[in-house]
């Protein structure tokens, strides 16, 4: 079972309100969003077709896949178009400690970074 680790991403002021930043944590492609001071992180992979989501249009917490138009809530991962769809967007817990943004991710104990 993988360890759950908090990865320090950087100081909060590095991420402007409204911005999104593409990251790789371990082998996981992640997008970090600053939505007016609230931070959210999700996998940079559409659960529908596996395509990257970082160029998708975002309005508040709603992200639209740039390839097929599916919409997801970046806080819950739920598919907005079909809330009963089991293909949810993978989200990651985010916290702020000592002014630093941290993302919790699963890491292989043999490959912590």
- Least confident span in 5-9, 15-19, 104-108: 104-108
Residues 103, 99: Cα–Cα separation, whole Å: 13
**So what's the pLDDT on residue 86?**
80
Mean pLDDT calculated for residue range 43-70: 93
Q: Which pTM was predicted? A: 0.87
Residues 99, 16: Cα–Cα separation, whole Å: 14
Mean pLDDT calculated for residue range 65-93: 90
Q: Confidence band (pLDDT; 50, 70, 90) for 109?
A: very low
């Amino acid at each position: 079972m993988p360890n759950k680790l908090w990865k320090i991403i950087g100081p909060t002021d590095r991420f402007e309100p409204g911005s999104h930043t593409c990251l790789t944590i371990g082998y996981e492609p992640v997008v970090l969003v600053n939505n007016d001071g609230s931070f959210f992180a999700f996998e940079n992979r559409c659960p529908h077709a596996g395509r990257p989501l970082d160029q998708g249009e975002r309005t508040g917490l709603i992200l639209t896949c740039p390839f097929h138009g599916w919409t997801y809530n970046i806080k819950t991962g739920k598919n907005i178009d079909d809330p009963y769809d089991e293909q949810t967007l993978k989200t990651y817990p985010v916290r702020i400690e000592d002014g630093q943004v941290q993302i919790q991710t699963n890491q292989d104990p043999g490959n912590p970074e």
